[in-house]
Chains A and B, each alone.
Chain A
Amino acid sequence: MSRTPERLDAFPTHHIAGFGVRAGRPLPFGASRVPGGVNFSVYSAGATGMTLVLYQRDAAEPLAELDFPPEFVIGAVYSMTVFGIDAEAVEYGYRADGPFEPEAGHRFDRRQVLLDPYATLLHGRDSWGGQRRPLRSGIALDDFDWEDDRQLQLPSQDLVIYEAHVRGFTRHPSARVAEPGTFAGLVEKIPYLKELGVNAVELMPVFEFDELDNDRLDPDRGEQLRNYWGYSTLGFFAPKAGLAATGRLGMQADEFKNMVKQLHRAGIEVILDVVFNHTAEGNELGPTLSFRGLDNSVYYMLTPDGYYYNFSGTGNTLNCNHPVVRGFVLDCLRHWASQFHVDGFRFDLAAILGRAPNGAPLANPPLLESLAADPILRDCKLIAEAWDAGGLYQVGSFPNYHRFSEWNGKFRDTVRRFVTGDEGVAGELATRLLGSPDLYAGRAPTASVNFVTAHDGFTLHDLVSYNEKHNEANGEGNRDGDNDNNSWNCGAEGDTEDEQVLALRGRQLRNLLLLLLTSHGIPMLVAGDEFGRTQRGNNNAYCQDNDLSWVDWRLTETNADLLRFTKAAIAFRKAHPALRRASHPRGHQGSGWFPEVSWHGERAWTPDWSPGHRLVAAMLYEHGPHGHDCVYVAANAHWDGRELELPGLPDGVGWHLFADTALPDGNDVHQPGDEPPLTGDRIWVEPRSTVVLVAKQTDGEE
């Protein structure tokens, strides 16, 4: 039964290549379903003509090629409504006519059928590592049943972020999920995440990329390496089909949305690692897939003679602060926030987002300002990786508009150097523990995303097990990856049976975890670090789509004690507002028992900041509606033990032991709320260990 259309624009006015069409709507860009058909809109400032190429799903040859007549063009925008096509069964692309004059910045090539930058699906890599088919744009159905889901809007200071690779998280057989390596597989692990206590997952790239675009071989196995991490985007609006169990059915957007919905149900936010600093097209030798053929001089930063600036280390640099590209980035993030209910974004090599078209850093980058003030993105967390491959390092100076948090690389380096026993680090560690007020004065501690490890670099286990990187498997003669790791193997490189070495590694791991999880700011863990995931010393596993990088869930049993320790440390953080302030703690006495932060040493209230001293002891105090909250953290990185005098407490209140990393497994940590009381007013802190205490009523009451 059909209804008579009531609108004038539901009728074709032209017939082109066998299809009824009419002038389309220029906005929104991309392909959108409209009554009776699909509206296509694409822009190009430099093109002299444009053709819409339609294919039946999976067909080698086009179904039809529709040139845009002049009356379908407004400004630089080509739009056409095509009637009677099945949005589910059709694939499309564009041919753009125009000059090929590289020195003038133009690289039009009519022979190429280009991907739509705004495509909501990509076809051609429908399952991970599967058959290579031509890459084509597709049209996602966007009418998901969200029920009453919305962004969770958790306070930033309460976040504990868990960085994960969607495939690596559940691809290993030990994950025991029905659909390994997919969004659906991740859903099956939600109960684990809840039990661990994290409340945000940060997913490494999920926008369409091509895992097959790596030509290197594994020198030992002889197999082709993959682009496993995916920091090389093909389709910015499209969730990657190869990460979805239903990708072969074109339902990756639904599967992704369901994952978000289920994570939200569990109280877990979703942050996406997004890569706007470059695209998958490489330099002038790379393929023409989309942007290069549509508007090369708009999308890319070009040198005066038409070559590509390379601030990203990957061949090209997206021209982020060009007004058109700015709009593209904003449209993209709005799409993920509104269509996918994503809670936040982490911007890869974000310093590039502050560069002008000629590469110069801008004082007030319009893109960053637009993102910070955007109404749709208002409740999204924005996190910058505040450096790039062109030498711009902006940790503490990133143009933040009071909206961007930063991956605090200095936290990582300081904590690593302190724990390995470097001299003269104690004073800097003190500021890092407080959310780095030296870097973020006038801002909240939550400007600082604290981490000891990230996908880049060693895993936590490898950080205490290797002095050197071991990246031979990447096929570059161990030249790739960072050389400056501040790691220490505790006396043996890699695998060892030496009990003493193993015990020290276990202690060092726990020292790092405790410092991370008692620091002000937003802590971030890497998936698997909580149970000792190893990459066998590889600190750059971007191409290792195998058991080197997949999370091995058997370690949850092998290293059950470490997992238990991490869970307790996360729970302890959640239980203590003194560790999760929304503003930097003050060192002078306010109301209540103590200042918000005070420093101690072998004598209470008497810290020693001299260079050879490798001990930091902080007391963190908060007096609020919940009453008094008081936590004492002492970290001793020295090879000798230290006896510390504890600050005196009011009558009826005493120090209780939450964690002591020097104690054997099983006694090294207590459940928050069940901490046993200490006797006396002094504690002994063993060499290279951390002790965390909590002040509680001594009569057994909270």
Chain B
Amino acid sequence: MSFTTKVHSDDGVVTIRLTGELDSRAAPALNEVIVEATAGTVRRLVLLAEELTYMSSAGLRCLVFAHQKLGRGVDIVLVGATPEVAETISLTGFDRSLVMQDPVER
């Protein structure tokens, strides 16, 4: 299954919706998207993961990449990760780079 992203930017809050499988083939593309979307001033980066079916080790690294790119002052929020993805993130210490949130009603 392919991987797609949809970016929305509003007043320093960048939201990226992730769809499909985020593996090592898709990770470089996501990194590019993060670079482009955060070129301006960013207060907060929100990654919507409800439609993410799979996230590999390389995918998790995109979160750290974003964290390092944006610096410590910028919150990175991962919304709606599956329990398995959420657990993997915390077992391997990747949760230090981001805030995990449940999906909100929209």
Is chain B a partner of chain A in the same complex? yes
Binding site for B on A (CB under 8 A): 1, 86-89, 141, 143, 145, 147, 179, 184, 245-246, 249-251, 254-255, 257-258, 261-262
Known contacts: A86-B23, A87-B24, A89-B24. The answer to whether A258 contacts B61 by CB under 8 A is no
Contact A258–B93 (Cβ < 8 Å)? yes
Q: Is B91 an interface residue (CB 8 A)?
A: yes
Contact with A along B13-56 (1 / 0, CB 8 A): 00000000001110001001000000000000000000000001
CA distance A88 to B97 in the complex (A): 22
| A–B complex contacts, Cβ < 8 Å, 26 sampled | A1-B29, A1-B32, A86-B23, A86-B24, A87-B24, A88-B23, A88-B57, A88-B58, A89-B23, A89-B24, A141-B24, A141-B57, A143-B61, A145-B64, A145-B93, A145-B96, A145-B97, A184-B91, A249-B57, A251-B57, A254-B57, A254-B94, A255-B93, A257-B93, A258-B91, A262-B93
59-98 of chain B: CB within 8 A of chain A = 60-61, 64, 67-68, 88, 91-94, 96-97
* Nearest CB in chain A to that of B28: its residue: A2
CA distance A250 to B56 in the complex (A): 9
Which A residues are CB-close (under 8 A) to B58? 88, 141
CA distance A483 to B64 in the complex (A): 53
Which B residues are CB-close (under 8 A) to A89? 23-24
Which A residues are CB-close (under 8 A) to B88? 246, 249, 251
Which B residues are CB-close (under 8 A) to A87? 24
A145: contacting residue among B25, B29, B32, B67, CB under 8 A: B67
Which A residues are CB-close (under 8 A) to B32? 1
CA distance A141 to B25 in the complex (A): 13
Which A residues are CB-close (under 8 A) to B94? 145, 254
Q: Using a Cβ–Cβ cut-off of 8 Å, how many residues does chain B contribute to the interface with A?
A: 20
Which A residues are CB-close (under 8 A) to B64? 143, 145
Contact A245–B24 (Cβ < 8 Å)? no
Which A residues are CB-close (under 8 A) to B57? 88, 141, 249-251, 254
Least Cβ distance of A359 to chain B in Å? Answer: 43
Contact A245–B91 (Cβ < 8 Å)? yes
Which B residues are CB-close (under 8 A) to A179? 91
Find the residue from A86, A89, A254, A255 having the highest chain B CB count within 10 A. A254
Known contacts: A141-B57, A143-B61, A145-B68. The answer to whether A246 contacts B92 by CB under 8 A is yes
Contact B93–A261 (Cβ < 8 Å)? yes
Least Cβ distance of B76 to chain A in Å? Answer: 12
CA distance A254 to B95 in the complex (A): 12
CA distance A87 to B97 in the complex (A): 24
Which B residues are CB-close (under 8 A) to A254? 57, 60, 92-94
A88-B23, A88-B24, A254-B57 known; 7 new pairs, CB 8 Å cut-off, are A89-B24, A145-B96, A184-B91, A251-B92, A254-B94, A255-B91, A262-B93
CA distance A246 to B90 in the complex (A): 10
* Nearest CB in chain B to that of A140: its residue: B57
Contact B91–A141 (Cβ < 8 Å)? no
Binding site for A on B (CB under 8 A): 23-25, 29, 32, 56-58, 60-61, 64, 67-68, 88, 91-94, 96-97
CA distance A179 to B87 in the complex (A): 10
CA distance A255 to B94 in the complex (A): 10
Which A residues are CB-close (under 8 A) to B61? 141, 143
Least Cβ distance of A31 to chain B in Å? Answer: 14
Known contacts: A141-B57, A145-B64. The answer to whether A258 contacts B92 by CB under 8 A is yes
* Nearest CB in chain A to that of B93: its residue: A258
CA distance A429 to B21 in the complex (A): 65
Which A residues are CB-close (under 8 A) to B93? 145, 254-255, 257-258, 261-262
* Nearest CB in chain B to that of A143: its residue: B61
CA distance A261 to B97 in the complex (A): 14
Least Cβ distance of B25 to chain A in Å? Answer: 6
* Nearest CB in chain A to that of B72: its residue: A147
Least Cβ distance of A34 to chain B in Å? Answer: 14
* Nearest CB in chain A to that of B35: its residue: A1
CA distance A251 to B94 in the complex (A): 11
CA distance A88 to B25 in the complex (A): 9
CA distance A669 to B88 in the complex (A): 44
Which B residues are CB-close (under 8 A) to A257? 93
Find the residue from B25, B32, B93 having the highest chain A CB count within 10 A. B93
CA distance A89 to B58 in the complex (A): 11
Which A residues are CB-close (under 8 A) to B29? 1
Which A residues are CB-close (under 8 A) to B92? 246, 251, 254-255, 258
CA distance A436 to B67 in the complex (A): 51
Which A residues are CB-close (under 8 A) to B96? 145, 147
Which B residues are CB-close (under 8 A) to A249? 56-57, 88
CA distance A250 to B60 in the complex (A): 13
Contact A246–B91 (Cβ < 8 Å)? yes
Known contacts: A141-B57, A141-B58, A254-B92. The answer to whether A86 contacts B25 by CB under 8 A is yes
CA distance A87 to B58 in the complex (A): 10
CA distance A250 to B32 in the complex (A): 25
Least Cβ distance of A49 to chain B in Å? Answer: 31
Least Cβ distance of A87 to chain B in Å? Answer: 6
CA distance A141 to B92 in the complex (A): 13
* Nearest CB in chain A to that of B90: its residue: A184
Which B residues are CB-close (under 8 A) to A143? 61, 64
CA distance A246 to B88 in the complex (A): 7
CA distance A147 to B64 in the complex (A): 10
Least Cβ distance of A144 to chain B in Å? Answer: 8
Least Cβ distance of A59 to chain B in Å? Answer: 16
List 3 tightest A-B contacts by C-beta distance, closest first.
Answer: A258-B93, A254-B92, A88-B24
CA distance A672 to B57 in the complex (A): 47
* Nearest CB in chain B to that of A254: its residue: B92
* Nearest CB in chain B to that of A185: its residue: B91
Least Cβ distance of A523 to chain B in Å? Answer: 30
CA distance A209 to B21 in the complex (A): 32
CA distance A262 to B90 in the complex (A): 12
CA distance A245 to B32 in the complex (A): 31
CA distance A88 to B59 in the complex (A): 11
Which A residues are CB-close (under 8 A) to B60? 251, 254
Which B residues are CB-close (under 8 A) to A261? 93
Least Cβ distance of A507 to chain B in Å? Answer: 43
CA distance A246 to B87 in the complex (A): 9
CA distance A257 to B57 in the complex (A): 14
* Nearest CB in chain A to that of B59: its residue: A88
